[in-house]
């Protein structure tokens, strides 16, 4: 028989071996790196800022999505008493606020794409008139395009409160939350740190490039708008037909069967995948915020 001492020694040996190899089995995460939850919250916060809803917290958006999902599922159960259809409607309803925020953010980015050349032109005019960089930026709170005046007014307040141009520029980037704004701000930061007299010509060239890019994107988006409309119509049409068929009891019984439920699940999955493919084909890629 094995003695108790031998058993205890074997347990201690196993624990020791486990502790030795534990760094390989469970590598430690970086303490300073963002977690998945924090990255999700940061992404939602940036999307809300881009949509002009910076005062709304990501938690409010998540709660609103849950409420929309519950309401959509309850309404579907009342109209179409099929559990699978109610589940799909709840998922679609929960995604509706996030889709709406994304749509609003895209519309604002599209509108801002037109005004950035005017912002650059105002900066060039102010710098050529002899104003310092800080005063030229602060003047955009009054003389700049209407869509960007609030952000530059916040920049002026931050600059007066802190007195640090770098920190004020970082806050300005967070308020604007736009890749073009990041490019302009980093150009100004580099000119401030390095010095030189080429900033007006650099900004003038950047403004010309932004005008050409905006014109090209507008032309391509106008030509590809029919692809997006076809994708939306193609996704909505089968579910509109299903809603019309729900008025017939025999159709409800058919879809409430296992085969009908499988058909609904497959149809929902195919609709989502097809819609995403059509959107990927018909929409131009958005610029990433490399300097965020």
Tell me the C-alpha distance between 205 and 153, whole Å. Answer: 26
pTM of the shown model: 0.62
In the chain, where the domains are located: 61-282
CA proximity to 106, closest of 47, 156, 160 = 47
CA 259 to chain centre: 38
Q: Which ranges of the chain would DSSP assign to H, the alpha helix? A: 4-25, 36-50, 58-79, 83-128, 133-143, 149-162, 165-176, 179-194, 199-245, 249-255, 258-282
Confidence at residue 23, expressed as pLDDT on a 0 to 100 scale: 59
Tell me the HSE value of 104 on the side-chain side, using a 13 A CA sphere: 15
What's residue 1's pLDDT?
A: 45
- pLDDT for residue 8: 56
Element (H, E) at 204: helix 199-245
| 167 touches 179 (CB < 8 A) | no
What does the pLDDT profile of the chain (292 residues) look like in tens digits? 445 555 555 565 556 655 665 655 555 554 444 555 667 777 788 788 777 777 888 888 888 888 988 888 888 888 777 777 788 788 888 888 888 888 888 888 877 788 888 888 888 888 888 888 888 888 888 888 888 888 888 888 888 888 788 888 888 888 887 888 888 888 888 877 776 667 888 888 888 888 888 888 888 777 777 777 877 788 888 888 877 777 777 777 777 778 877 888 888 888 888 877 877 776 766 777 666 6
């Amino acid at each position: 028989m094995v003695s108790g001492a031998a058993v205890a020694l074997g347990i201690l040996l196993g624990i020791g071996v486990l502790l030795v190899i534990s760094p390989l089995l469970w590598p430690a995460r970086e303490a300073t790196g963002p977690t998945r939850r924090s990255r999700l919250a940061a992404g939602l916060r940036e999307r809300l800022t881009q949509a002009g809803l910076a005062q709304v917290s990501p938690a409010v958006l998540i709660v609103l999505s849950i409420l929309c999902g519950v309401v959509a599922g309850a309404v579907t159960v009342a109209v179409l008493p099929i559990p699978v259809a109610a589940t799909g409607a709840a998922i679609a309803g929960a995604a509706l606020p996030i889709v709406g925020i994304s749509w609003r953010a895209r519309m604002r980015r599209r509108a801002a794409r037109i005004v950035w050349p005017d912002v650059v032109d105002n900066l060039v005019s102010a710098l050529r008139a002899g104003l310092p960089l800080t005063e030229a930026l602060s003047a955009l709170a009054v003389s700049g395009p209407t869509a960007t005046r609030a952000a530059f007014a916040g920049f002026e307040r931050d600059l007066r409160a802190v007195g640090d141009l770098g920190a004020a520029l970082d806050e300005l980037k967070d308020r604007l939350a736009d890749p073009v704004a990041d490019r302009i701000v980093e150009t100004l930061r580099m000119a401030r740190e390095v010095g030189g007299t080429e900033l007006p010509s650099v900004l003038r060239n950047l403004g010309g490039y932004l005008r050409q890019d905006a014109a090209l994107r507008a032309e391509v988006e106008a030509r590809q708008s029919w692809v997006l409309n076809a994708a939306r119509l193609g996704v909505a049409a089968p579910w509109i037909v299903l809603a019309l068929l729900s008025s017939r009891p025999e159709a409800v019984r058919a879809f409430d069967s296992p085969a009908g439920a499988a058909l609904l699940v497959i149809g929902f999955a195919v609709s989502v995948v097809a819609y995403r493919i059509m959107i990927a084909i018909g929409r131009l890629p958005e610029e990433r915020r490399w300097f965020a």
